[in-house]
Each structure stands twice: as structure tokens, then as C-alpha cells.
């Protein structure tokens, strides 16, 4: 038997909580980017979605390498890539209700709630920081406008990062979760380069399925140093996956690729305010960077058909010229499956796993060549594709010819957009002739 608690029995307890300070009736949006007295914030001049002291975007910062970013958490919509079958009959792919993050950096606090409402991105805005940065990340919870019956708090969990304090970890058992209309600022002292990821850790099975996932990676302190690799090859690099001491993780082009997937039934039932089928969750839309093929190849930021807002901003086109090296920062936040990726015709050199370089400095003995990688949820790998072949030397028989190559899931059922074949977890690698 269900017993209803009468309101007059709840009110005394609520009054007691308010008077004791255990409950706060005040909520406030507050973007924190600390400066010394007299300091101020400039515009995001380079368009990377962050304010950086190194780029002159923070006057009188409290630390030399200070970085600040403001995210909102709320709801929104994205369209899937099944445009041929057009399941909604409106000329677009199936519309999916989502939860997610959007970038509010530079938006005045007074406009943050309005700007962040029904503005969720999938995937979340990419976070790229550098070793040695002091990163202040403010999260403002703008609420679920399409689900006014929900009052979910949200967090940011910097997956794989060793926080100095549990309060910034985002796991609600040990840290703070942010309620609607409120803001909280996370602080991270960035120590180790590598490929990470971020997501909401409140009711994680639901919020991650709904789309609260994003790319996050850390550039090494070694960036900017000139290394010739292989020695004697004449190839010089100034960008690296890790502090390797020898240039062996050097690259010319970087592409973050995050594996994700949606269960359309779960999303449809969510917006219909129906009981959620957790036990029967079956993802039917496998994606890379929040898109299924061929949308992975569309260079444009994609608007959704609900309100026309751009909500899918990250494509997965991979391009390079013959003779160049490509770094793929691959991460998975799929909650239902393991996924195996392969590259057709280009060997994959694995140089990092779990945000750690394989082997110590000046040591490449633990790198390995493979034709496929498998990742479960929460795993990350760093892959180098060398168009000069596995030996890195131009003019040998193993050089990669110009042309179009495919990166795709070997799981056959992951190469579809729900009921529409020839899509899903796939993108193209376009190698042009050497200049």
C-alpha cells in the first residue's frame, strides 16, 4: 500500500531546513575566472571557446597559465543521419531529444540562463587544455525546459583525471552536484598530457545515454620543441601526443574521435514522459563525434529540425597530405557495447592508452602496430597514422598512396543508422598527393 504524506506534515520539516541553512532558497549564475585586483576579461580572440592568459584574453590573471570556460547543462535536440528512410516524414533524420552541455564562455551572467536553455550540443563542446594550465571550469545548470517535471542536478566528471580534491570530481557521492539556476566552478591543475573525456556523473546511465558526453584532451609541455623523427628522415615535428623525449609521437594533424551511440526508444520515451526502459536499452544509432555516416563527412555545423539551433558542431573528416602524420585521439563513452574500429589500408600505431604514453621517455618499444582497436566505455587510445608507412621513411614500398580510406566499426550492426543501412560508425580519411 502507498501512503501519501500530507503537506502539513512536510511544511514544519521544510521550515526547519531553511532556518538551519541546510536548504538554500537562493540560486545564482556566476562565471568565475579569477583575476588580481584591477584585472579584467577580454573576448575569446582565437575562437577556441575558452579564455586563456597565454593568449592575452585574461588581464592580470591569478596564475601565468590560467584558463577559464563556462558551460551550461540542459536539454535540446539533434537529428540522426537516417535521412533516406526519413522516419519522421519531415525530410530530416529522426529527431532525438537530448540532455547536454553548451558553451557560455563570454555570455554575460544575466543572459546565461536564457542562452543555455534548449541549447544542448552533442557531443559537448570540445575541451583542449595544455600541460601546466590552471583550468577553471564553471558549470551552470539551466534546467530541462522540455521536461519541466524534472529537477535533475548535473556535474562535470573529468574522466581519468587525478583530482587533488574529491569535491571537483563530479561523482555526486563525494562531490557537489549543481542544481537548477546555480553555478559551480571546478578547478584543475593540469599535470599530464593525454586523451581524456568528460560527462555528467549524476544518474550516469541516463544522462550519458541522453548525450552528456564530450571530447577532452591535454597537449604536452613538449609542444613547440623541434624534433626530427625518425632521425635522419628530414621530417620535423613541433606537435606531439605526449612528452616522449624523442619526437616519436609527433604529428601534423590532430583529430579527436569520440565513440557514442543512442537508443532511439529511450530518447523517444523520455520526451514522451514515459517510464524509461533501462533494462532494455539497445543502442541503434552508432556514432562518431555525435554523428552517423554520412553526416560524419559534412563539414557544416548541423542544426536540428526542432528549433533550428546548431546542436551537432563536430564533424569527423580526416585529411592529410602524403608524407604527413595524423594523430587520432579516440575515446569511447558508449554505455551498452564494446566497439572495434579499423582503418582500411593504413596501419594504426598505438602510442598511448588511458591517457598514458606506452613506455617511458625516449622509448618506443611498447608502441605497436595493429589493424584494429577495441574500446569499452570510458577507454581512450592514441593512434598515429603515418602516410609514409610504418617505417616513417618516404619513398619505400609501404608508403600510403593518395586516395580515400575508411575508418569504421568492424561490428557489422554498427554500420547502420537504426533501420537504414550504409551508415553509423564510419568516416573517411582523405589523403592528397604530396605538395
Question: Within a domain: residue 1?
Answer: no
Question: Within a domain: residue 98?
Answer: yes
pLDDT digits (tens, 9 = 90+) for 282-295: 999 999 999 999 99
| Contact (Cβ atoms closer than 8 angstroms) between residue 135 and residue 69 | yes
Question: Within a domain: residue 336?
Answer: yes
pTM of the predicted structure, to 2 decimals: 0.92
pLDDT digits (tens, 9 = 90+) for 105-145: 999 999 999 999 999 999 999 999 999 999 999 999 999 99
What is the rounded distance in angstroms from the CA atom of residue 220 to the CA atom of residue 177? 30
Question: Within a domain: residue 146?
Answer: yes
Question: Within a domain: residue 101?
Answer: yes
Question: Within a domain: residue 355?
Answer: yes
Cα angle value 178/182/185 (rounded, 5°): 65
User: What is the domain range of residue 383?
Assistant: 30-35+47-432
Pairing of strands 368-370, 66-79: unpaired
Question: Within a domain: residue 42?
Answer: no
Which stretch of DSSP H or E encloses residue 170?
none
| Contact (Cβ atoms closer than 8 angstroms) between residue 365 and residue 413 | no
Res. 22 pLDDT band, cuts 50 70 90: very low
Which stretch of DSSP H or E encloses residue 109?
helix 109-116
| pLDDT tops 60 at residue 25 | no
Question: Within a domain: residue 14?
Answer: no
Q: Which of 43, 68, 70, 47 is nearest to 57 (CA)?
A: 43
Query: Taking residues 414-427, what's their average pLDDT?
Result: 97
Q: Which of 405, 197, 199, 427 is nearest to 292 (CA)?
A: 427
Q: How much is the mean pLDDT over the chain?
A: 93
CB neighbour list of residue 185: distance below 8 Å, 6 or more residues apart = 30, 32, 136, 137, 138, 139
- Looking up residue 75, the CATH number of its domain turns out to be 2.60.40.420
pLDDT digits (tens, 9 = 90+) for 357-405: 999 999 999 999 999 999 999 999 999 999 999 999 999 999 999 999 9
Q: Structurally, how many domains does the chain consist of?
A: 1
What is the rounded distance in angstroms from the CA atom of residue 431 to the CA atom of residue 319? 6
CB neighbour list of residue 156: distance below 8 Å, 6 or more residues apart = 71, 101, 137, 139, 170, 186, 198, 199, 200
Surface-to-core class of residue 359, CB atoms within 10 Å of its CB (0-12 exposed, 13-18 middle, 19+ buried): middle
Amino acid at each position: 500500500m502507498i501512503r501519501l504524506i500530507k503537506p502539513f506534515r512536510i511544511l514544519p520539516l521544510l521550515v526547519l531546513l531553511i532556518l538551519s541553512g541546510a536548504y538554500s532558497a537562493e540560486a545564482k549564475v556566476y562565471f568565475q575566472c579569477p583575476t588580481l585586483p584591477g584585472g579584467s576579461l577580454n573576448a575569446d580572440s582565437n575562437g577556441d571557446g575558452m579564455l586563456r592568459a597565454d593568449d592575452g584574453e585574461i588581464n592580470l590573471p591569478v596564475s601565468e597559465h590560467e584558463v577559464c570556460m563556462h558551460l551550461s547543462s540542459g536539454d535540446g535536440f539533434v537529428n540522426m543521419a537516417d535521412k533516406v528512410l526519413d522516419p519522421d516524414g519531415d525530410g530530416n533524420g529522426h529527431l532525438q531529444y537530448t540532455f547536454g552541455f553548451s558553451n557560455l564562455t563570454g555570455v554575460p551572467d544575466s543572459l546565461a540562463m536564457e542562452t543555455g536553455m534548449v541549447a544542448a550540443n552533442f557531443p559537448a563542446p570540445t575541451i583542449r587544455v595544455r600541460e601546466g594550465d590552471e583550468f577553471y571550469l564553471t558549470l551552470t545548470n539551466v534546467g530541462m525546459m522540455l521536461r519541466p517535471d524534472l529537477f535533475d542536478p548535473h556535474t562535470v566528471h573529468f574522466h581519468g583525471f587525478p583530482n587533488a580534491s574529491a569535491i571537483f570530481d563530479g561523482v555526486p557521492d563525494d562531490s557537489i552536484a549543481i542544481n537548477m539556476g546555480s553555478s559551480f566552478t571546478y578547478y584543475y591543475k593540469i599535470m599530464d598530457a593525454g586523451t581524456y573525456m568528460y560527462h555528467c556523473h549524476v544518474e550516469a546511465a541516463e544522462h550519458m545515454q541522453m548525450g552528456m558526453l564530450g571530447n577532452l584532451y591535454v597537449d604536452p609541455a613538449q609542444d613547440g620543441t623541434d624534433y626530427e623523427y625518425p632521425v635522419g628522415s628530414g621530417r620535423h615535428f613541433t606537435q606531439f601526443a605526449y612528452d616522449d623525449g624523442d619526437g616519436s609521437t609527433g604529428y601534423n594533424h590532430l583529430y579527436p574521435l569520440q565513440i557514442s551511440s543512442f537508443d532511439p526508444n529511450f530518447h523517444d520515451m523520455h520526451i514522451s514522459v514515459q517510464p524509461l526502459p533501462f533494462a532494455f536499452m539497445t543502442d541503434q544509432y552508432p556514432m562518431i563525434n555525435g554523428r552517423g555516416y554520412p553526416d560524419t563527412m559534412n563539414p557544416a555545423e548541423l542544426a536540428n529540425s526542432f528549433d533550428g539551433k546548431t546542436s551537432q558542431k563536430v564533424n569527423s573528416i580526416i585529411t592529410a597530405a602524403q608524407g604527413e602524420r595524423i594523430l587520432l585521439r579516440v575515446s569511447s563513452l558508449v554505455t551498452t557495447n564494446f566497439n572495434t574500429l579499423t582503418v582500411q589500408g593504413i596501419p594504426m600505431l598505438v602510442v598511448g592508452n588511458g591517457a598514458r604514453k606506452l613506455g617511458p621517455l625516449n622509448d618506443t618499444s611498447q608502441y605497436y602496430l595493429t589493424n584494429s582497436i577495441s574500446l569499452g566505455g570510458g577507454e581512450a587510445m592514441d593512434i598515429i597514422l603515418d602516410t609514409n608507412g610504418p617505417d616513417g621513411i618516404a619513398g619505400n614500398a609501404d608508403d600510403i598512396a593518395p586516395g580515400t580510406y575508411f575508418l569504421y566499426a568492424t561490428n557489422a550492426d554498427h554500420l547502420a543508422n537504426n533501420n537504414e543501412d550504409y551508415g553509423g560508425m564510419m568516416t573517411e580519411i582523405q589523403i592528397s598527393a604530396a605538395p
